[in-house]
Amino acid sequence: MTFNEFKFHKDLLKGVKIAGFKEPSPIQEMVIPIIEKGEDLVAQAHTGTGKTAAFGLPMMDKIAKKEIERALVITPTRELATQVSDELYHLGRFCGIRTITVYGGVGYGRQIALINKGVQVIVATPGRLKDLYKKGKIDSFNPEIIVLDEADEMLDMGFLEEIKEIFEYIPQNRQTLLFSATIPEPIKELANEILTNPQFVSVVGEDDSTTNNVIDQFYYVLEEAQRDEVIVRLLETENVNKSIIFCRMRREVDRLAEHLKALGFLAEGLHGDLEQMERDRIIKGYRRGESKIMVATDVASRGLDVKNVTHVFNYHIPFDPQSYVHRIGRTGRAGKAGKAITLVSTNEFRELQRIQKEVGAQMQLATIVLDENSENDFRDLQTLVEEVDITPTALDFIDSMEDMDYHEFVERVVTLLLQQKQSSINQLGFDQNMVTSMLNKYESEQKVAQKGKRKKKRD
C-alpha cells in the first residue's frame, strides 16, 4: 500500500513525499481509514510506530479539504507537544495549515494572540490548556477533532482530572481519538466517558506488549561505589551513537552529567528544575547531535522522542516495572536494534528480579573484564614512579641484586607492581557464580532471621 491510495489532498501528499514517507506503517494503514470516516477511535500503539502521522495526516486532510476548520492535540509534556507540532507543520506546510504549541512555563500573551489570529491546529499540554479554557481566553477555538496522545503517560503524570475538565469546554459534536501504549482500567473508563462508539485498534503484539523485542537487555550486579566506573567503561567500549542515562534524582543527574563532561564526553543533564528555555536548548542540541549523552530523570524524559538512540542506561533501577518499560522504549525504535543496560547493587537485585518477572523481560547478566595491564594502570604507575622520592634503603636493595641483569631487574619490579595494583580485581560486576553465591547467602540469612522471629514470638 502507498500513501497515494488514501486520496489525501495533493498539497498534503507533497509534504508526505518530501518527508520521505513511502509506505504507511501498520498503525497508519489501520487507523487512517477510520479517522477519514469520522469515527471515534481508541488505538494502542507504542511511541515510534508512526502514530503522529497516523492521526495527523487524516486530520490535516480534512482541514485542507475544508471538511473541518480546527483540530486539537493534547500531549502529556512540553517536549512531546513541540515534537508533534513540528511534525504536523512539516507534513502540512504546503496546505497552509497553521499550528501552534501551547504549554506552561511561558507567558500567556503570545499564545493567546496567535490562537486569536486563526490557527487551525493547537498542540497543547493539559495544564496550560485547561487554564486557557477556564479563564475564557480561547472561547472561540472549538475543535472538531480532538486527539489524546500518549494517554497512559497523562494518567501516570496525574492529568486525568484536567483532561475531563477540558472536555467540559469542548462541543459535543466532535471526533475524538485516543492513542495509548497501554490501556489500563482508568484509560478504559475515560474512553467510555468522552468517546462515542469508538473503534478499537491495536498494533501491540503479544511479544511486545511490555518490552520491545528488538531491544537487547543486560544488567550488571555491582558494588555501589562502582557505578560511575562501570558507566564510563560502558560508554567507552559500547558502540554508542546516542544514549540516555536514567537517574532517580535531580542532584544525581547534575553530578553525573558534570562528571562525564569533565571526562570529555558530550553529555547534558535534563530534569524538572531547569527553566524552559534551558530545557529547549538541551533537547534541541541533543537532537542535532551537539550532545551524545542525555542524563535525565523519568519525569523530564517523558515524551522525549529522539531518533537513533542506540543505548539506554539505568544508572539506578527504576521504582516500578512500568517505568522500566517507558525507559527502555526510548531505544530500539522503528525496527532498529537497541540496547538497554541496567546497573543494580547487591541490595537491589531482588527488585530487578521482580521487574523481570512482571514485564517478561529477557535480561542477560554481564560483567566487564578488565585488561591485565590497562592503559590506566600504566599511567598510574608512571605517575607514582615520577613522584616517589628515592631512599637510601632502595639503593642498598639495588646493590644487593648485583648478580641480576639490570633490565631484567627493572622488568621484574614493574611486573610485581602492576600485579599488586590489580590485586584480585580483574572484573567489574559479579559473574553468575558470584550472584548465585550472593543469593544463597541472602536466603540463608533470611531463614535465620525468620527462625529468630518465630523463636522470639514463642518466648
DSSP letters spanning 331-384: SS-TT--EEEEEEEEGGGHHHHHHHHHHHT--EEE--EEPPTT-HHHHHHHHHH
For the chain, the farthest-separated pair of C-alpha atoms sits apart, in whole angstroms, at: 101
pLDDT of residue 299: 67
**pLDDT grade, residue 232 (50/70/90)?**
very high
pLDDT of residue 443: 60
**pLDDT grade, residue 375 (50/70/90)?**
low
24 against 405, higher pLDDT: 24
Read off the pLDDT of residues 307-336 as tens digits, 9 standing for 90 and up. Answer: 789 999 999 988 777 778 878 888 877 667
CATH of domain 3-204: 3.40.50.300
**pLDDT(371) > 60:** no
Separation between Cα atoms, residue 221 and residue 148, nearest integer Å: 40
Can you tell me which residue has the cell 484536567?
162
Domain spans in the chain, listed from the N-terminal domain onward? 3-204, 215-369, 375-422, 429-458
136: left (phi over 0), alpha (psi -120 to 50) or beta: left
**pLDDT(122) > 90:** yes
The average pLDDT across 180-200 equals: 90
pLDDT of residue 69: 93
Separation between Cα atoms, residue 250 and residue 300, nearest integer Å: 10
441 against 145, higher pLDDT: 145
Range scoring the smallest mean pLDDT among 244-253, 348-357, 366-375:
366-375
Range scoring the smallest mean pLDDT among 41-55, 268-282, 331-345, 435-449:
435-449
The average pLDDT across 423-443 equals: 63
pLDDT of residue 304: 67
**pLDDT grade, residue 418 (50/70/90)?**
low
Can you tell me which residue has the cell 639490570?
406
* Beta-strand relationship, 368-369 and 427-428: antiparallel
60 against 388, higher pLDDT: 60
63 exposure class (CB count in 10 Å sphere: 0-12, 13-18, 19+): buried
DSSP lists the bridge partners of residue 122 as 72, 100
**pLDDT grade, residue 300 (50/70/90)?**
low
DSSP lists the bridge partners of residue 175 as 145
* CA separation, residue 423 to residues 41, 149, 223, 437 (Å): 63, 55, 17, 21
pTM: predicted TM-score of the whole model, two decimal places = 0.57
The average pLDDT across 115-141 equals: 89
356 against 9, higher pLDDT: 9
**Sheet strand arrangement including 99-102:** 99-102, 121-124, 71-74, 145-148, 175-180, 41-44, 199-202
pLDDT of residue 225: 84
425 against 354, higher pLDDT: 354
* CA separation, residue 371 to residues 233, 384, 418 (Å): 12, 20, 12
Q: Are 124 and 72 in contact (CB under 8 A)?
A: yes
Range scoring the smallest mean pLDDT among 25-39, 102-116, 142-156, 325-339:
325-339
Indicate the SS3 state at residue 264: coil
* CA separation, residue 383 to residues 83, 162, 380 (Å): 50, 61, 5
Which residue, among 115, 184, 106, has the nearest Cα to 152 in the 3D structure? 184
**pLDDT(112) > 70:** yes
Q: Which CATH class is domain 215-369?
A: alpha beta
Range scoring the smallest mean pLDDT among 67-71, 198-202, 231-235, 276-280:
276-280
**pLDDT(210) > 50:** no
Q: Are 64 and 11 in contact (CB under 8 A)?
A: yes
**H or E stretch covering 301:** helix 298-301
21 against 341, higher pLDDT: 341
Read off the pLDDT of residues 149-172 as tens digits, 9 standing for 90 and up. Answer: 989 888 878 889 999 999 999 888
Q: Which three cell numbers stand for residue 36?
A: 477519514
Indicate the SS3 state at residue 96: coil
pLDDT of residue 120: 93
Which positions ≥6 away from 118 have C-beta within 8 Å?
Answer: 98
Which residue, among 255, 213, 458, has the nearest Cα to 359 in the 3D structure? 213
Separation between Cα atoms, residue 135 and residue 166, nearest integer Å: 12
The average pLDDT across 219-225 equals: 86
Mean pLDDT of the chain: 83
